[in-house]
């Protein structure tokens, strides 16, 4: 497998130019939201138009991180998920890079325009990961990197340009409230992915409030306990140099001990008032130390956080790159609404700048109304840098072609004479797939600790379990089931997290788009527990992923399993969800045809859909279907099965 230690250092970017780009990105993002809400001279909305919304403060919070990342770090092929409310920042960057046409800047949140949240399937420019349901987009790059690790192990020729791309997630701090984030990092299948970096935009605010007692340190320990490399970008350079002065350590200790609420309240204050609030609870020696800064400079000092220090951010990304044997997380301390009059206001989540505030912001970046949407002058340093970075990043995603995958119309299933169940047939069909190497090489299975009880044992016996490096088979030796983890295995075993199942399936079903190699992912789960992963199921479909999920056993009566194992509403889930065909075959041969059709649909990246199969452990007499085949012939019956219904006599 390719060495993950192949990341070059970030490009040597001029910090002055980077700061100029950062300010322009902020302006464009803020103005896009303003325009969407009817602001500005190009206003063509009725004054009583419905509230459109948009998030200027959330965008401002992450503008430094995203500017540093795109203009100082990313290389072709790297993949990034962007927190939902930073969509305007993302589009502003794509515009400056020359990837997004100017006409889109005035279409945020309008029909056919830029989406409120980054969307793989609906936005006009390439988006690596959709986001929106907080926590899911944050975790997606980790699973994409796990999927890519699998692809590179099985198709080493797919390692593009001799380097393993970065997988970066940019997330809000409140996204760490979502349990799926922790389920993701704890799973053995996501361990050791040194090309993954998460960046937490630590502005200490969520939607409603300043988050009480959010203890970054505790969160950092949770990552470290899961073997993540933790990087902290807490203080900007002004604060760091103040800490270095005699007595400066007291300043640091005072800030570190301060509650989020007290710190956040400083943003509303100026001059002497700010000094008084900041010094509450401080020792006399610290008050004396701070006297060297006049009132009008104190705010710039004590509110100087590292998440807006471009040099500190580039250094943090370099530290993340340097650790290549496990994922990294960067805790970047930021200010929600940074650089705007609403900075740090606890109620700023959905706040919009007034017209005069927009005028002020436009002036601060040196633009007039006539030129407010302009790109940089192409001959200026910022203009040249944007063009150079844009050209480089756009050169990604040209993959060497892959040979066609041919999926047969049938795996030749022959039903047993005695009654049998669809789950039993599924197990036998998977063995048939294993016996067709050209097909099996693209098929990958995964399951949240129900591999054996969903009948994948025979398949595993033939194809083995995936692990990044060879492991000893401690379990299988001398038994019927071989459980031999190795880079050649074709099954990824997960812990009992249905969220992780669907997040992984979602990313396995996008390897064509991310790596150029199509996989046919088949996940198995007890059908009642599909609902435990439902939001990630929806997320995968919305992202345009293609996969097969097998809910088995399914049904209202799982006999001895009792009431807790009844999947009563999953049929309607399957029927209601778009982009997935939901089927519940009764007979083994019907399942054979459907499974083949499902695989062909996964391979068809243009018009194919995902498939949700509900199977059962109840054996039934197969002879009525045998009779139907004789009566109608396979061609007719098969087309009726695939269409969704057929007649038995």
Provide the binding-site residues for ligand TPP, judged by CB under 6 A.
Answer: 58, 61, 83-85, 132-134, 172-175, 201, 203, 205-207, 336, 349
Binding mask 147-186 for Mg ion (x = CB under 5 A): -------------------------xxx------------
Give min distance, CB of 205 to Mg ion, in A: 5
CA distance 94 to 108: 14
The rounded distance, in Å, linking the Cα atoms of 478 and 365 is 72
Taking CB under 5 A as the binding criterion, the range among 35-43, 116-124, 195-203, 230-238 that sits at the site for Mg ion is: 195-203
Residue identified by tokens 């591999």 is 451
521, 602 Cβ separation under 8 angstroms: yes
Smallest distance from the beta carbon of 61 to Mg ion, in angstroms? 7
Name the binder of 254 from ligand TPP, Mg ion, none, CB < 5-8 A by kind. none
Distance of alpha carbon 582 from alpha carbon 219, whole angstroms = 40
Q: Residue 360 is encoded by which pair of tokens?
A: 């002020």
Using CA atoms, how far apart are residues 378 and 373, in angstroms rounded to an integer? 14
**Helix-then-strand count for the chain, H and E:** 25, 13
**Stated length of the chain:** 649
For residue 347 the two structure tokens come to: 């109620």
Q: For Mg ion, which is the closer residue by CB, 204 or 514? A: 204
Q: Which does 175 bind (CB under 5 to 8 A by kind): Mg ion, ligand TPP, none?
A: ligand TPP
In this chain, which residue has its C-beta nearest to ligand TPP? 172
Shortest distance in whole angstroms from residue 59 CB to ligand TPP: 9
Q: Can you read off the two tokens belonging to residue 354?
A: 């007034």
Task: Indicate whether 205 belongs to the interface with Mg ion (CB under 5 A).
Answer: yes
Identify which of residues 211 and 429 has a Cβ nearer to ligand TPP in the complex. Answer: 211
Cα dihedral 56, 61, 66, 71, rounded to 10, equals: 90
Q: Whose Cβ is closer to ligand TPP: residue 185's or residue 554's? A: 185
- 141 near Mg ion, rule: CB under 5 A: no
457 binds, among Mg ion, ligand TPP, none (CB under 5 to 8 A by kind): none
CB of 171 to ligand TPP, least distance (A): 7
d(CA 557, CA 563): 8
With tokens 């006599």, the residue in question is 649
Binder of residue 20, out of Mg ion, ligand TPP, none (CB less than 5 to 8 A by kind)? none
Beta carbon of residue 135, minimum distance to ligand TPP (angstroms, whole number): 6
Q: Which is nearer to ligand TPP, 316 or 554 (CB)?
A: 316
State how far the Cα of 364 lies from the Cα of 367, in Å rounded to an integer: 8
Per rule CB under 5 A, count of chain residues that contact Mg ion: 5
The reply on whether position 464 binds Mg ion by CB under 5 A is no
Q: Which does 552 bind (CB under 5 to 8 A by kind): Mg ion, ligand TPP, none?
A: none
Judged by beta carbon, residue 86 or residue 174, the one nearer Mg ion is 174
- Give the angle 424-427-432 at the CA atoms, nearest 5°: 125
134 binds, among Mg ion, ligand TPP, none (CB under 5 to 8 A by kind): ligand TPP
CB count within 10 Å of CB 53 equals 14
**Nearest approach, Cβ of 297 to ligand TPP (angstroms)?**
28
CB of residue 214 vs Mg ion: minimum separation in angstroms? Answer: 9
Q: Could you give phi then psi for residue 457, rounded to 5 degrees? A: -55, -45
Other CB atoms within a 10 A radius of the CB of residue 614 amount to 23
Residue 207 interacting partner from ligand TPP, Mg ion, none (CB closer than 5 to 8 Å by kind) = ligand TPP
In Å, what is the CA distance from 47 to each residue of 37, 38, 39, 44, 50?
10, 8, 10, 9, 9
Distance separating alpha carbons of residues 463 and 474, to the nearest angstrom = 17
Query: If binding is defined by CB under 5 A, does position 59 make contact with Mg ion?
Result: no
> By C-beta, is 56 or 205 nearer to Mg ion?
205
**Please, are residues 405 and 603 in contact by the beta-carbon 8 Å criterion?**
yes
Q: Which stretch binds Mg ion (CB under 5 A): 144-152, 203-211, 250-258, 315-323?
A: 203-211
- Least distance between ligand TPP and beta carbon 166 (Å): 21
Decide whether 151 or 499 has the Cβ nearer to ligand TPP: 499
On the 0-12 / 13-18 / 19+ scale of CB atoms within 10 A, 643 is: exposed
Q: How far is the CB of 136 from ligand TPP (least distance, A)?
A: 8
Cβ proximity to Mg ion: between 209 and 462 the closer is 209
Report the residue from 203, 422, 552, 610 that binds Mg ion according to the rule CB under 5 A: 203
- When the beta carbons of 492 and 573 are compared against ligand TPP, the nearer one is 573
Cα 497 to the chain's mean position, in Å? 17
Q: Show Cβ contacts of residue 295 under 8 Å, excluding neighbours closer than 6 positions.
A: 270, 271, 272, 274, 275
Q: Is the CB of 139 or the CB of 589 nearer to ligand TPP?
A: 139
Q: Is residue 511 within the footprint of Mg ion (CB under 5 A)?
A: no
CA angle at 95 for the pair 89 and 96, rounded to the nearest 5° = 90
Rounded Cα distance between 56 and 61, Å, is 9
Nearest to 547 by CA among 519, 585, 575, 576: 519
**Which residues contact Mg ion by CB under 5 A?**
172-174, 203, 205
């Amino acid at each position: 497998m390719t060495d993950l230690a192949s990341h070059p250092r970030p490009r040597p970017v001029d910090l002055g130019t980077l700061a100029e780009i950062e300010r322009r990105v902020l302006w464009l993002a803020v103005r896009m939201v303003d325009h969407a809400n009817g602001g500005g001279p190009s206003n063509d909305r009725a004054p009583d138009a419905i509230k459109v919304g948009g998030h200027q403060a959330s965008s401002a919070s992450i503008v430094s991180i995203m500017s540093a990342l795109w203009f100082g770090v990313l290389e072709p092929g790297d993949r990034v998920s962007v927190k939902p409310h930073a969509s305007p920042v993302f589009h502003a960057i794509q515009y400056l890079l020359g990837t997004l046409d100017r006409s889109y800047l005035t279409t945020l949140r309008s029909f056919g325009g830029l989406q409120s949240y980054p969307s793989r399937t609906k936005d006009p420019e390439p988006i690596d990961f959709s986001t929106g349901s907080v926590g899911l987009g944050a975790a997606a790059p980790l699973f994409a990197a796990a999927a890519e690790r699998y692809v590179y192990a099985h198709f080493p020729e797919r390692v593009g340009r001799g380097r393993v791309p970065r997988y970066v997630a940019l997330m809000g701090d409140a996204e760490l409230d979502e349990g799926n984030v922790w389920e993701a990092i704890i799973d053995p299948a996501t361990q050791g992915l040194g090309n993954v970096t998460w960046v937490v935009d630590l502005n200490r605010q969520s939607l409603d409030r300043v988050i009480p007692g959010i203890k970054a340190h505790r969160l950092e320990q949770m990552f470290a306990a899961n073997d993540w490399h933790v990087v902290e970008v807490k203080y900007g350079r002004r604060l760091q140099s103040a800490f270095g002065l005699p007595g400066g350590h007291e300043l640091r200790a005072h800030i570190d001990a301060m509650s989020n609420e007290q710190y956040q309240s400083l943003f509303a204050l100026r001059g002497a008032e700010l000094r008084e609030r900041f010094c509450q609870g401080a020792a006399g020696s610290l008050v004396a130390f701070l006297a060297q800064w006049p009132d009008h400079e104190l705010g710039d000092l004590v509110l100087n956080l590292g998440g807006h220090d471009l040099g500190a951010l580039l250094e943090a990304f370099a530290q993340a790159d340097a650790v290549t044997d496990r994922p990294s997380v960067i805790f970047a301390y930021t200010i929600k609404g940074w650089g705007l009059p609403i900075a740090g206001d606890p109620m700023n989540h959905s706040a919009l700048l007034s017209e005069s505030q927009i005028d002020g912001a436009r002036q601060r970046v040196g633009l007039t109304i006539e030129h407010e949407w302009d790109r940089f002058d192409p001959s200026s340093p910022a203009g040249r840098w944007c063009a150079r970075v844009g050209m480089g990043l756009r050169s990604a995603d040209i993959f060497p072609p892959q040979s066609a995958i041919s999926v047969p119309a049938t795996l030749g299933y022959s039903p047993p004479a005695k009654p049998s169940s669809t789950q039993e047939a599924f197990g036998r069909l998977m063995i048939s797939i294993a016996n067709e190497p050209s097909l099996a090489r693209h098929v990958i299975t995964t399951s949240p600790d129900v591999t054996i009880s969903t009948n994948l044992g025979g398949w595993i016996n033939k194809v083995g379990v995936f692990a990044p490096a060879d492991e000893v088979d401690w379990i299988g030796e001398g038994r019927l089931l071989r459980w031999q983890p190795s880079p050649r295995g074709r099954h990824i075993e997960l812990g009992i997290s249905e969220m992780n199942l669907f997040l992984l399936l979602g990313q396995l079903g996008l390897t064509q788009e991310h790596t150029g190699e199509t996989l046919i992912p088949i996940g198995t789960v007890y059908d009642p527990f599909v609902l435990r992963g439902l939001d990630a199921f929806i997320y995968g479909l919305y992202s345009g992923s293609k996969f097969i999920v097998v809910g088995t056993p399914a049904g209202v009566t799982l006999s001895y399993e009792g009431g807790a194992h009844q999947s009563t509403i999953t049929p309607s889930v399957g029927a209601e969800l778009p982009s997935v065909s939901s089927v519940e075959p009764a007979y083994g041969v019907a399942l054979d045809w459907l499974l083949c059709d499902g695989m062909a649909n996964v391979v068809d990246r243009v018009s194919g859909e995902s498939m949700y199969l509900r199977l059962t452990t109840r054996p039934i007499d197969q002879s009525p279907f045998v009779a139907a085949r004789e009566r109608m012939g396979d061609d007719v019956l098969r087309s009726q099965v695939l269409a969704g219904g057929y007649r038995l006599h």
